Structure 1
Amino acid sequence: MGKVISAHSVSADGYITGRDPRAGHGLGDGGMLFDWYFDGDTPSQVFDGFKLSEPSARVFDFLAARVGAVVAGRNTYEDSDHFGGGSPHPGAKMVLLSHRPAPEITERQTLVTTGIEDAVAKALELAEGKDVGLMGGGVLASALEAGLVDEVVLHQVPILLGEGRPFFRKLPKHVKLALVEAVPAPGVTHLRYEVRR
């Protein structure tokens, strides 16, 4: 069975978007959080068009190759224009966790309305032994609260955004992490943590 992981670009002050994220405007004014995807000379082996630095490509492709399904929250789904009817990951199936109907959902996407446990269970089934990636702060907070997360990866970008959508939402309890790997790279530091249970 695969692991449940969250890997996300985040500012040094903890934001995953800039000001005013919304459909058609994506990350608001926080687009630079993903500059490291394109600032290198090493092509990703998983995502076409990504050219990363060598250390970033090593970390990114290691994680991306493990993912067989993605669980995204409704805000992320809407801000990302429904992922064009597909998935944010070229080789992974997409599960949308939402508490309301999604008439725009396609046959390539799966809607789960009964909570994080069911969404992760469905994603693990769809992943066929590979890992499940979590997208969005609300999804991560719910999964951490339910004790479902195995790893948290922060691709920390050296910028202070000061405002936007915070990655870590309010948690009902402390979550202990153990640092597994820290990889400095141009424009980003990759921090991989194991969740301690």
Structure 2
Amino acid sequence: MSKVISAHAVSVDGYITCRGPGAGRGLGHGTMLFDWYFDGDTPSQVFDGFRLSAPSARVFDALAGRVGAVVAGRNTYEDSDHFGGGSPHPTARLFVLSHRPAAEITERQALVTSGIEDAVAAAREAAGDKDVGLMGGGVVTEALKAGLVDEMVLHQVPVLLGGGRPFFQALPGHVRLRLVDAVPAPGVTHLHYKVER
């Protein structure tokens, strides 16, 4: 069975966007959370235009190569200008989780309004034997609450943003993680955790 994974760039103080994210403004003012996508000399084998450091490319491409479908929250979808009608991943289908209608959904995207369990189930079916990637703090929080997340990767960037969108929202209790890998790289440390149940 495919796994459900979350991989997010995150500041040391826990933000996944810079200040002022929103439609037309992307993920906020400044790009320091994402500089490591472009500050190396190793091209990604999955994402055109990404040039990472060698250690980051190994981690990033291994994760991206596993993803067959993506579930994103409505805020992430809006902040990212609807992903241009496509997906944040070059080959994975996008499922947008929202409680509101979205007339701008294209044939390469699907809107799920009935909750995280249904969104993950639809994404699993589309992913086949590949994994489901989660995007957005709200989606990850809801998936954690529902016990659906298998692995989490924090691409931790050594910056304190002091504002933006926090990664995690309120959880009903604690979630135990087990560190399985830590890869230091220029401008980022890749922390790979398994969610313990």
TM-score, structure 1 normalization: 0.99
* CA positional deviation for 1:32: 1.2
User: What is residue 75 of structure 1 aligned with on the other side?
Assistant: 75
Q: Secondary structure at the match of 2:140?
A: helix
Return the letter of the residue paired with 1:178: R
Q: Secondary structure at the match of 1:8?
A: strand
Q: Secondary structure at the match of 1:32?
A: coil
User: What is residue 134 of structure 1 aligned with on the other side?
Assistant: 134
User: What is residue 4 of structure 1 aligned with on the other side?
Assistant: 4
Does structure 1 residue 179 correspond to structure 2 residue 191? no
Identity %: 79
For residues 24 and 181 of structure 1, the distance between their equivalents in structure 2, rounded to whole angstroms, comes to 36
User: What is residue 110 of structure 1 aligned with on the other side?
Assistant: 110
Q: Contact 1:97–1:112 at 8 Å: present in 2 too?
A: yes
Q: How do residues 180-195 of structure 1 correspond to structure 2 at under 5 angstroms? A: 180-195=180-195
For residues 123 and 151 of structure 2, the distance between their equivalents in structure 1, rounded to whole angstroms, comes to 16
Q: Which runs of 5+ in 1 are unaligned?
A: none
* CA positional deviation for 1:30: 4.2
- Per-residue deviation, residues 6-61 of structure 1 (Å, max 9, x unmatched): 00000010001111101111111242100000000100000001000000000000
- Per-residue deviation, residues 58-87 of structure 1 (Å, max 9, x unmatched): 000000000000000000000000000000
Q: Greater shift after overlay, 12-21 or 140-149?
A: 12-21
Q: Contact 1:19–1:163 at 8 Å: present in 2 too?
A: yes
Does structure 1 residue 45 correspond to structure 2 residue 45? yes
User: What is residue 119 of structure 2 aligned with on the other side?
Assistant: 119
For residues 30 and 119 of structure 2, the distance between their equivalents in structure 1, rounded to whole angstroms, comes to 28
Does structure 1 residue 146 correspond to structure 2 residue 146? yes
Return the letter of the residue paired with 1:86: G
Q: Contact 1:37–1:51 at 8 Å: present in 2 too?
A: yes
Does structure 1 residue 18 correspond to structure 2 residue 34? no
Q: Greater shift after overlay, 25-34 or 147-156?
A: 25-34
For residues 113 and 30 of structure 1, the distance between their equivalents in structure 2, rounded to whole angstroms, comes to 32
Q: Secondary structure at the match of 2:65?
A: helix
User: What is residue 101 of structure 1 aligned with on the other side?
Assistant: 101
For residues 120 and 25 of structure 2, the distance between their equivalents in structure 1, rounded to whole angstroms, comes to 28
Return the letter of the residue paired with 2:125: E
Q: Contact 1:68–1:132 at 8 Å: present in 2 too?
A: yes
Q: How many residues get paired?
A: 197
Q: Contact 1:5–1:131 at 8 Å: present in 2 too?
A: yes
TM-score, structure 2 normalization: 0.99
Give every structure 1 segment of 4 or more consecutive aligned residues whose post-TM-superposition deviation is greater than 6 Å.
Answer: none
For residues 156 and 36 of structure 1, the distance between their equivalents in structure 2, rounded to whole angstroms, comes to 10
* CA positional deviation for 1:173: 1.1
For residues 161 and 65 of structure 1, the distance between their equivalents in structure 2, rounded to whole angstroms, comes to 30
Q: Contact 1:9–1:33 at 8 Å: present in 2 too?
A: yes
Return the letter of the residue paired with 2:130: K
For residues 105 and 160 of structure 1, the distance between their equivalents in structure 2, rounded to whole angstroms, comes to 35
For residues 125 and 31 of structure 1, the distance between their equivalents in structure 2, rounded to whole angstroms, comes to 34
Does structure 1 residue 62 correspond to structure 2 residue 62? yes
Q: Secondary structure at the match of 2:35?
A: helix
Q: Which runs of 5+ in 2 are unaligned?
A: none
For residues 91 and 38 of structure 1, the distance between their equivalents in structure 2, rounded to whole angstroms, comes to 20
Return the letter of the residue paired with 2:88: P
